[in-house]
Amino acid sequence: MLRKLFNFHGGVKPATHKEESTLSPIAPVPLPDRLVIPLHQSVGGHPRPLVQPGDRVFKGQRIGAADGSLSSAVHASTSGLVRDVVPAVMPHTSGLTTLSVIIEPDGDDRWGELERVNFRSTPPDELRDFLRDAGIVGLGGAVFPSHLKLKPGKEGALQTLVINGAECEPFITCDDMLMRERAGDMLKGIIAMRHMLQAREVLIGIEDNKPQAIAAVQAAIAASGETGIEAVAIPTRYPAGGAKQLIRVLTGIEVPHGRRSTDFGVQCFNVGTAYSIFEALERGRPLISRIVTVAGNVDAPRNYEVLIGTPMDHVVRLAGARAGTDRYIMGGPMMGARMPAFDVPVVKATNCILVGSPALFPPPPPEMPCIRCGECAKACPADLAPFEMYWHSRAKNFGKAQEYHLFDCIECGCCSFVCPSHIPLVDYFRFSKSEIWAREREKEAADTARDRFEFKNFRQEREKQEKAEKLAAKAAATREKVGADGSAAGAAAASSGTAPAKPSGDDAKRALIEAAMEKARQQKAQVQPKNTDAATPAVQAEIAAIEARRQVSATHPTDAPPDRPPSSGA
Amino acid sequence: MINSPFVRKPASVQSVMLQVLLALVPGIAAYAWFFGPGILVQIALATAAALAGEAAVLAIRGKPVALFLGDLSAIVTAWLIALTFPPIAPWWLTVTGTLLAIVIVKQLYGGLGQNPFNPAMAAFCLMIVAYPALMSQWPAAGQLDAGTQLELIFGGARQIDAITGATPLDALRTALRGAADPASTLHGLRAAQLMDGPAFGLIGGHGGEWVALGYLLGGLWLLQRRIITWHIPLAFCAALFAAAGLLWALKPEGFASPLFHLASGGAMLGAFFILTDPVSGATTARGKLLFAAGAAVLTYVIRVFGAYPDGIAFATLLMNICVPLIDMKTQAPVFGHKKD
């Protein structure tokens, strides 16, 4: 049965270079002398280190605990000694450092205790926690914590689970080889995900330049006897493997920027993620290794099963880097990132180490002015007008760039790929996005500071007012009291024969002062021990009861009932 | 620092412009065959002037001269100027026009990619306003031999009215106006009868229709090469056909047929080579349709009711002005924001 496929706009067809690295099976990598495992390997919070220098760790032992819900755990990839927990250069173009655990392997490669989980009998919340603690993240490159995506939407069930085996980037073949060699186990992971999402159907999208992978997956589906799971060959066109593009091709649904695909009844996972979920659930093994393609300027391009934290040059050495190598690119030639050094570690996001040379990836010809030919718009899979965004980005007119949907750009690189003026369009868009984020952060900080300042002013003002009111009330109360005392004193004076005088201003003031002094005396007296302090507990209880009664009668004067009687409703 | 993508399609402005030049060759060949070698001289003059003017301004602006001369865009402008000016225009007219186009309309606005107006059409408009007589003298096909043409281009005195007539478009308009006027000797003639005259060919002007066919072939090749999209040529031809067809259907004796309009003057050149200039034209799909249709209607109105031999140039400039608005209002919905 042929499934109806949908089309996405644009796209390009760069030379695929995939054959070279699929000639030999996935190979293991000998243990390196040192593993550098960054604690922050997924989207979200930075995991806290759970080990200290000098600790011995098992293979698969958790060394970083997820920080909050949007985060994922990190594990020791082999057994050995924790040498250090220090910032180390991370595999990112910026060359910035990140807190990493340095492990010296002991060579035993000894697993700790492995905990398996039956996904059918475990409550979903526990399963998600288990996957978070197993460090499962999206292996297609985005490294988004998978447990957060394994929730069915509001309806409690999903229409379609899309499994991404498209692998549209040139040179990369890790998903291809995974599907060829481990389709059965990958399918078990998919079945577990389908269970968690309550998905009605599963569509595994694979570009039609991978016939062997398609055949292997179809055979595995047939062998499993599962229904509602289909491996679908899709036309080879970059970026068919973009999650949104693949969802579009398979289901016809376009998930807009900023919306969750589950709102549309779809969720998408990479085939490698499915396999790592199988490893975690059925073998109890957390995510400590992944398949990495080594390709480009090497003698024997190939896929390797690489422990997370292995220095890249250790892996490349096996494939034999050729002369002229001037850079490693993590990922493919379209979206990959140039590495700041050769010995940065392989991380969960490393699907490919592309060894570059000036001959393989020559510097682009000089940038020419934009001639508005519209080639970029024709190639854009997000239906954008890159030349308009470029125009406004270049002028730092970021508001306008956003009006042309800058943030819908997925940075696939198609526009730069086709531009006859050799303009690095994606670089302009990355620049604009980071500028806008920086400005928003600044604005937020300024807003917070202003709010804080305004609140401080308001608080000071309020306190001043409250103080004044309190003083005024107190003064009024005292005046009243003094007035009462004064009349009593007047009566006394009348009886003693002196003329009763209405308290004049001076007298009132004097009375206030006297009242204040009296109060001070009373306060002083209170500090001195009361005679009741030495009483027996029984007597003290009695006193307390009396005090309580007095309190109640003081707050509820007898002439005003505490509650309004129901009859006086009118 | 070079970031992704690390691979690029082998495309360049130079190759785009080179293909446009190649696509003009069939039209130029037909032009030279029917009207004599004067056009080749004009192309050479315009090319030399364009390169010299561009190089001078680039040097003054401190831009890499070789890089920008190599993009061939100045040569495309030069050829379009030569092809739209009369083939027997005096050399200084062509050179001045070309320099105006390159120096003022293109470079003073910022050079390649920055000009809001089509440089060749701006030059045509400037020159036809400044030198209406010289810009309106077109030889009929096979009328002038090579020597006479060269003499007219480089010589001094011009006994022009004796040897050249108006363009078929011009002739038809004048004649039809005459035909409509009871006082005229042409009174009572029909458009169809007029077109049996020696200046007219099968559907357009004699010879000119073959040049138009050459442009059409080159334009189709550009379409096939994906240098241009179908929107502008199709919308222009359809709108011109519709506008001409409407009046022709209402009053066939008073107006030329829509096919005549398509095959005459600069219609094909405009549809495939002039309006498709990406820099000064609309860029969105719907925008291109609007832009080209507007240009077609304006062209028709100027041809039929105006005083100039052809309306393409003014129509192009008028529509160039509208491009920012058209582009802004015709942006297609982006991924995920489409209405089903």
Q: pLDDT, tens digit, for every residue of B263-281?
A: 888 899 999 999 999 999 9
Q: Which residues contact A263 (CB under 8 A, 6 or more apart)?
A: A153, A154
- Contact state of B4 with A331 under an 8 Å Cβ cutoff: yes
Q: Is pLDDT above 60 for B181?
A: no
- In this structure, are residues A411 and A384 in contact, taking their beta carbons and an 8 Å threshold? no
B297 and B194, same structural domain? yes
Q: Which residue of B has its CA nearest to A358?
A: B6
Q: Are residues B311 and B172 in the same domain?
A: yes
- The residues on B that touch A, with CB distances below 8 Å, are 1-9, 11-13, 15-16, 64, 67, 71, 73, 110-114, 229, 278-279, 283-284, 327, 331-338
User: For residue B75, what are the domain limits?
Assistant: 11-165
Question: Per the domain annotation, does B121 fall within a domain?
Answer: yes
The answer to whether residue B5 sits within a structural domain is no
Tokens of A534: 């030495």
Q: Whole-model pTM?
A: 0.82
Q: Find the closest chain A residue to B112 by CA distance.
A: A369
- Of B137, B165, B193, which residue sits at a domain end? B165
Identify whether B261 is part of a domain.
yes
Q: What is the pLDDT of residue B215?
A: 96
Which chain A residues are closer than 8 Å to B12 by Cβ? 365, 368, 420-422
For residues A82 and A55, the answer to whether their CB atoms sit within 8 Å is: yes
What is residue A482's predicted lDDT score, i.e. its pLDDT?
A: 77
To probe the interface with B, which of A245, A352, A368 has the most B CB atoms within 10 Å? Answer: A368
Contacts of A248 in chain B (CB under 8 A): 335
Question: Is B2 domain-assigned?
Answer: no
Low-confidence ranges of chain A (pLDDT < 70): 1-2, 485-505, 525-537, 551-570
Q: Is A400 touching B (CB cutoff 8 A)?
A: no
Residues B209 and B142 in one domain: no
- Chain A residues with CB under 8 Å of B331 CB are 385, 388, 404
B334 and A15 in contact by Cβ < 8 A? no
What tens digit of pLDDT does each residue of B69-111 get?
999 999 999 999 999 999 999 999 999 999 999 999 999 999 9
Average pLDDT for chain B: 88
Q: Which of residues 158-187 of A touch B (CB under 8 A)?
A: 170
Report whether A9 contacts A414 (CB < 8 A): no
The alpha-helical segments, DSSP class H, found in B155-284 are 160-163, 168-180, 191-194, 208-224, 231-250, 258-263, 267-269
Question: Rounded to 5, what percent of chain A is helix, strand, coil?
Answer: 40, 15, 40
Q: What are phi and psi of A385, to 5 degrees?
A: -110, 80
Nearest residue in chain B measured CA to CA from A381 = B335
Could you tell me the two tokens for A16? 């695929």
* pLDDT higher than threshold 90 for residue B178: no
The residue with tokens 């009711």 is: B305
- Has residue B338 been placed in a domain? no
Quote the DSSP letter at residue B189: -
Q: What's the rounded Cα separation, in Å, for the pair A528 and A151?
A: 67
**CA separation for the pair B334, A9 (Å, rounded):** 10
Residues 6 or more apart in contact with residue A374 via CB below 8 angstroms: A387, B229, B278, B283
Same domain, yes or no: B147 and B115: yes
Region of poorest pLDDT, from B15-19, B167-171, B226-230, B297-301: B167-171
Distance (Å, rounded) from C-alpha B56 to C-alpha A205?
A: 57
B177 found inside a domain: yes
Q: Average the pLDDT over B241-268 and give the result.
A: 89
- CB pair distance less than 8 Å for B2 and A368: no
Sheet holding A337-338, edge to edge: A27-28, A302-307, A289-296, A352-356, A327-330, A337-338
Residue B265 lies in a domain: yes
- Alpha-carbon distance of B231 to B234, in angstroms, equals 5
Residues 31-60 of A with CB under 8 A from B: none
**What is the reported pLDDT for A557?**
47
Give the separation between CA A222 and CA A232, rounded to whole angstroms.
14
Looking at the DSSP bridge assignments, the partners of residue A202 are: A161, A229
pLDDT in the model for residue A514: 82
Q: What is the DSSP string of A88-101?
A: EE-SSTT--EEEEE
Could A427 and B6 be called an inter-chain contact, meaning their C-beta atoms sit closer than 8 Å? no
SS3 of residue A318 by DSSP = helix
Most A CBs within 10 A among B2, B4, B72, B331, hence the mutation to make, goes to: B4
Please judge whether A408 and B334 are an interchain contact, meaning their C-beta atoms are less than 8 angstroms apart.
yes
Q: Is the peptide bond before A53 cis (omega within 30 degrees of 0)?
A: no
Q: Residues B91, B151: one domain?
A: yes
| pLDDT at residue B192, as a whole number | 56
B233 and B115 in a single domain? The answer is no
Domain-terminating residue out of B165, B197, B224: B165
Task: Tell me the nearest-neighbour CA distance from B293 into chain A, angstroms.
Answer: 19
Residue A422, phi-psi category: left (phi > 0), alpha (psi -120 to 50), beta (remainder): left
Radius of gyration of chain B (CA): 21
Asked if A361's CB is within 8 angstroms of B6's CB, the reply is: yes
Any idea which residue has 């060699």 for tokens? A181
Same domain (yes/no): B137, B210 = no
Angle, CA of B235, B239 and B241, to the nearest 5°: 120
The 10s digit of each residue's pLDDT in A281-302 is 999 999 999 999 999 999 999 9
Q: Are A285 and A343 in contact (CB under 8 A)?
A: no
Of A99, A104, A103, A125, nearest to A47 (Cα)?
A99
**B303 and B318 assigned to the same domain:** yes
CA distances from A14 to A7, A238, A524, B12, B331 (A): 18, 8, 91, 16, 28
Cα A292 to Cα A351: distance, rounded to the nearest angstrom: 5
> How far is B323 from B312, CA to CA, in rounded Å?
16
Q: Report the residue of chain A nearest B278, measured CA to CA.
A: A373
Q: How far, in Å, CA of A290 to CA of A277, rounded?
A: 12
CB contact under 8 A, B12 and A422: yes
Interchain pair B335, A254: CB under 8 A = yes
Q: What is the DSSP letter of B205?
A: B
Q: Assess whether pLDDT exceeds 70 at residue B175.
A: no
Q: Tell me, what's the pLDDT at A562?
A: 43
- What local confidence, expressed as pLDDT, does residue A565 receive? 42
B270-326 confidence digits (pLDDT tens): 999 999 999 999 999 999 999 999 999 999 999 888 878 788 999 999 999 999 999
Q: Given this model, what pLDDT does residue A141 score?
A: 84
Query: Count of CB atoms within 10 A of residue A463's CB?
Result: 10
How far apart (Å, rounded) are the C-alpha atoms in residues A23 and A303? 10
Quick check: B246 pLDDT over 90? yes
Does B110 fall in a domain?
yes
Q: Do A333 and B4 lie within an 8 Å CB cutoff?
A: yes
Query: Residue A113, SS3?
Result: coil
Task: Mark yes or no for CB contact A377/B111 under 8 Å.
Answer: no
Contact call for A422 and B9, based on CB within 8 A: no
Q: Which of B122, B140, B165 is the last residue of a domain?
A: B165
| Predicted local confidence at residue A335, as pLDDT | 95
Q: Which of A194, A246, A269 is nearest to A224 (CA)?
A: A194
Supply the DSSP string of A134-186, one letter for each residue.
Answer: TT-B-TTTT--BHHHH-S--TTSSEEEEEEE----STT--HHHHHHHHHHHHH
Query: What's the average model confidence in pLDDT over B322-336?
Result: 93
Same domain, B100 and B248: no
State the total domains in chain B: 2
What one-character DSSP code corresponds to residue A238? B
pLDDT at A492: 56
Q: Give dist(CA A508, CA A520) in Å, integer.
A: 18
A170 → chain B, closest CA residue: B7
DSSP per position, B101-162: IIIIIIGGGTSTTT-SS-HHHHHHHHHHHH-TTGGG-BPPTT-S-HHHHHHHHH-S---HHH
Query: Could you write out the DSSP letters of every residue in A4-71?
Result: P----S--B------SGGGSS--EE-PPPS-EEEES--SSSSPPEE---TT-EE-BT-EEEE--SSS-
B-contacting residues in A 308-337 (Cβ below 8 Å): 329, 331, 333-337
- Residues contacting residue B293 through CB under 8 Å, at least 6 positions apart: B235, B236, B238, B239
Q: With beta carbons less than 8 A apart as the criterion, state whether A85 and A36 touch.
A: no
Q: Are A296 and A360 in contact (CB under 8 A)?
A: yes
In terms of CA atoms, which chain B residue is nearest residue A331? B4
Computed from CA positions of residues A99, A105, A106, A108, in that sequence, does the dihedral angle turn out positive or negative?
positive
Contacts of B334 in chain A (CB under 8 A): 382-384, 405, 408
Residues B232 and B299 in one domain: yes
Residues of A in contact with B332 (CB under 8 A): 383, 385
Q: Is-contact A411 A430, C-beta < 8 A?
A: yes
The predicted-structure confidence for A129-164, as pLDDT tens digits, reads as follows 999 999 999 999 889 999 999 988 778 889 999 999
What domains are defined for chain A? 19-28+114-356 (3.40.50.11540), 368-483 (no CATH)
pLDDT tens per residue, range A218-249: 999 999 999 999 999 999 999 999 999 999 99
3-class SS of residue A327: strand
Say how many CA atoms lie within 13 Å of B14 toward its Cβ: 12
Q: Which residue has the tokens 């055949």?
A: A215
Q: Is B235 exposed, middle or buried (0-12, 13-18, 19+ CB in 10 A)?
A: buried
Residue B222 has pLDDT above 60, yes or no: yes
Q: Which of 341-380 (A) contact B at CB < 8 A?
A: 356, 361, 363-366, 368-375, 377
ipTM at complex level: 0.88
Residue A136 confidence (pLDDT): 96
Tokens encoding A448: 């917070």
* Residues B178 and B318 reside in one and the same domain: yes
Whole-number pLDDT of residue B184: 44
Please give the pLDDT value at position B264.
Answer: 85
B160 with B173, same domain?
A: no
When computed from its CA atoms, the radius of gyration of chain A, rounded to whole angstroms, is: 37
Nearest C-alpha neighbor of A162 from the set A6, A26, A303: A6
